[in-house]
Structure 1
């Protein structure tokens, strides 16, 4: 990387929102909107809040060079030399870089275009921060278990509600519909419990995936590659760690602690080290 690379949003989005704000103000001042001062003030406040969030999100910028990383938003710019980075933290898709004195933090926005490239560069510049020995176990957060609990309670509540409302459920025409819905809910819960890992454990040459029910072991030589990928939704990008297997199948890992970028870089370093060992010691 000879020239610094800048990651930022296109200014077109901010310009569009500015035009929308101006148009909204013109619309209110023209008298077309028939509302009181309170309604108009609330609408302006709501639109102003939305505009502020958009400006804050889309004005962020991250610059990478051979020597340093800097992150900029409407509140200013923070810069760290790669040699100054002491540790990483963060939650979800966010990764934060801290210096030794803990007074400077650089946090690239996950909403930036090509965010996965920023994560890759962080891992390449400071691979020592993502040691498989330090992060030998990465767990899924409590929110996932809470979500499953809510889903189970919803199924139970659904069954109780129909039992009370219908009365004699077994003689009702709704019996088979209720049973079919319960079977669908039970299947969804089973798929979540059986296919979503609760934790990832790295022990030597093996990767262990622990589920609520059961465990799966993957030797390093059964894994073709590991990469940070995403799917695009209406609400933005949904990131996950893709574990591609030699047999052509792939696993998706998400929600791992301490954050997804760190989990990805740890898994990548683990797989890379064992791939090198296989090449040097066939």
Structure 2
């Protein structure tokens, strides 16, 4: 099943993909729908056309967004780091999120804007200290994120957060795809980024150092995970910052971040709002 949050003339709506139609699930967004226990759409529910749909962030206001750094071996090596024993975690906030096809405004304060395609876990039920089958059952599905990074601010200190939390910088969507459609809760999916058609990143989520179930177990040990929370699992090799010479987004580019079976975010970089 594929799920989304779309923008309509009367506000955002949680929907389920049914052929070329988006069936209204009766809630304003997927976060609210998941919190209500993921009920089925009512008979005679409204439907919207998939063509021309305006996708909002899949969960517009998650209680938390936890991101994982250094989780693909090739990316760890390109950044000159050793393989970690534990996940490297940092936060994002709801104000960073964009819809899958929204433009990304390049902040005037940076000349080091970078791309990072990521598999994102969407939490479907409240869990704390989840283990095994409980952690697996907490995964409602997966989606795509471009964890756009402001590298010059990220590396001002040894702590990365200030390079990761820029307002309206992070596309996520367009769909949440349930695990049964992508091979389960430890999917092996091709993940890629292109910039103006040139392949910049290509890998497989099966090579994640810390897999989705482990991440739910680990993060839920620290803090309660709620329905609609997002866990971004890290990016593979090929980021602009690690290239020689470095390559950054300057404005005018089209960036496509895509994961097999999940869909793609297609975003144009603009230099003013």
- Report the TM-score range of the alignment, normalised by the length of the smaller protein: under 0.3
As a proportion of its length, which structure holds more strand? 2
The structure number with the bigger radius of gyration is 1
| Higher RCO by CA contacts (8 Å cutoff, separation 6 or greater) | 2
Provide TM-score, normalisation by structure 1.
0.22
Provide TM-score, normalisation by structure 2.
0.23
As a proportion of its length, which structure holds more helix? 1
